[in-house]
Amino acid sequence: MLQKIEELKAKVNSLKAESIAEVEALRIQFLSKKGEISLLFNDFRNVAADQKRAIGQALNELKNIAGEKINALRAELESADTIDADIDLTRTAARHPEGTRHPLSLVRDEITSIFGRLGFSIAEGPEIEDDWHVFSSLNFADDHPARDMQDTFFVHRGPEVLLRTHTSSVQSRVMEKTQPPIRIICPGRVYRNEAISARAHCFFHQVEALYVDKNVSFADLKQTLLYFAREMFGPETKIRLRPSYFPFTEPSAEMDISCNLCGGKGCSFCKHTGWVEILGCGMVDPNVLEACGIDSKEYTGYALGMGIERITNLKYQVKDLRMFSENDVRFLDEFRSGR
Ligand code: DAH
């Protein structure tokens, strides 16, 4: 009997099956009530008492081995089955989701590259600033409303530590460290204490440009502005300058461009004027040059500053400023081609 058991063990160990049906046939052959192993169990009755223990053990072992073998064969075929069903090797690969550039980054890069072609290089400064660089060095009077808590976020008072309200602070930082010629373009984020709405946000982005050298004139400023407007909004774009006031420039102006939606004919976007305002500019006030250690008798300069959100709105007609910071992928996806 022991010999029979050993033969069956060897047979079971070498079993193979090509399909689930074959596995089932093997199970019946060995393990069903009338299967080969069960028949051996029937014979167990006739085994001599002194051999019962050894043969009983061997029989149980055989039954376990057969059970495990058949389960293993079944599991192997089942997993192979599901893989075959799921993998279609002719299918095109799943698309790897690609990110997009943020519209504000696209426009910022376009602005800095236009100025880059005129020889301006990028300069950056800190967002957490002191009073000197944001206000005092830029000729703001002590009682100027921008210094008020209502407009400016203060991190600390006395000494003042604040979030910069404009990128003009980078002007004074660079002028303090560098003697002319200076030709810089300064993109960055700025903060103002405003309630968030479709038209205002407590943070937004600006680009500042500064040119200081001998004999820099308002004519240079105007020509630079015209070049910028045409590169940015197309060769038909017209500009106009309106007198304005900023503490750090004298004279100061605001620039409008002919409305790029109606071509200057008048539409609801330009409130039927044909013009839209895009930036502030002027000749650097001699007080600012002196405050930053530049001789105002030898050097003159111009400066200009614009909001990147504003330019982006003009280019892409984004109606709600909040879209820029909500990170809704459906919105960001519209800029996939990096227009
Ligand atoms: N700093 C101004 C603002 O935040 C913008 C500006 C106006 C910058 C005129 C300039 C300038 O450099 O000359 O509104």
Q: Is 304 in the pocket of ligand 1 (CB under 6 A)?
A: yes
Which element (helix H / strand E) includes 12? Answer: helix 2-13
Q: Is 172 in the pocket of ligand 1 (CB under 6 A)?
A: no
Separation of 158 CA from ligand 1 center, angstroms?
26
Q: Please report, as a single letter, which amino acid is at residue 267.
A: C
Which atom of ligand 1 sits closest to the CA of residue 209?
12
Pairing of strands 182-191, 121-122: parallel
Tell the residue nearest (CA) to atom 7 of ligand 1.
280
Q: Is 134 in the pocket of ligand 1 (CB under 6 A)?
A: no
Separation of 304 CA from ligand 1 center, angstroms?
6
Residue length of the chain: 339
Side-chain half-sphere exposure of 265, counting CA atoms within 13 A: 4
Residue 169 in contact with residue 189, Cβ under 8 Å?
no
From 133, 151, 281, give the residue whose CB has the most ligand 1 atoms within 8 Å, as the site to mutate.
281
User: Which positions ≥6 away from 104 have C-beta within 8 Å?
Assistant: 205, 308, 309, 312, 324
Sign of the dihedral through C-alpha 177, 181, 187, 191: positive
Please give the structure tokens belonging to residue 313.
């709105």
Among 295, 282, 278, smallest CA distance to 211 is for 282
Which atom of ligand 1 sits closest to the CA of residue 190?
4
Side-chain half-sphere exposure of 207, counting CA atoms within 13 A: 26
CA distance 193 to 87: 57
User: Which positions ≥6 away from 246 have C-beta within 8 Å?
Assistant: 252, 280, 282
Please give the structure tokens belonging to residue 112.
């800095």
CA distance 278 to 295: 31
Q: Is 307 in the pocket of ligand 1 (CB under 6 A)?
A: no
Q: Is 188 in the pocket of ligand 1 (CB under 6 A)?
A: no
From 168, 225, 245, give the residue whose CB has the most ligand 1 atoms within 8 Å, as the site to mutate.
168
List strands edge to edge, sheet with 239-246. Answer: 121-122, 182-191, 203-213, 300-307, 275-284, 249-258, 239-246
Separation of 126 CA from ligand 1 center, angstroms?
17
Strand ranges, E, within the chain: 121-122, 128-130, 154-156, 161-163, 182-191, 203-213, 239-246, 249-258, 275-284, 300-307
Q: Is 303 in the pocket of ligand 1 (CB under 6 A)?
A: yes
If DSSP codes are grouped into helix, strand and coil, which group holds residue 278?
strand
Q: What is the pTM of this model?
A: 0.73
Tens of pLDDT, residue by residue, the chain (339 residues): 888 888 888 888 888 888 888 888 888 988 888 888 888 888 888 888 888 888 888 889 988 998 899 898 888 888 775 666 667 888 888 888 778 899 999 999 999 999 999 999 999 999 999 999 999 999 999 888 878 777 899 999 989 999 999 999 999 999 999 999 999 999 999 999 999 999 899 999 999 999 999 999 999 999 999 999 999 999 999 999 999 999 999 999 999 999 988 888 999 888 999 999 999 999 999 999 999 999 999 999 999 999 999 999 998 888 889 999 998 888 988 887 754
Q: What is the DSSP letter of 268?
A: T
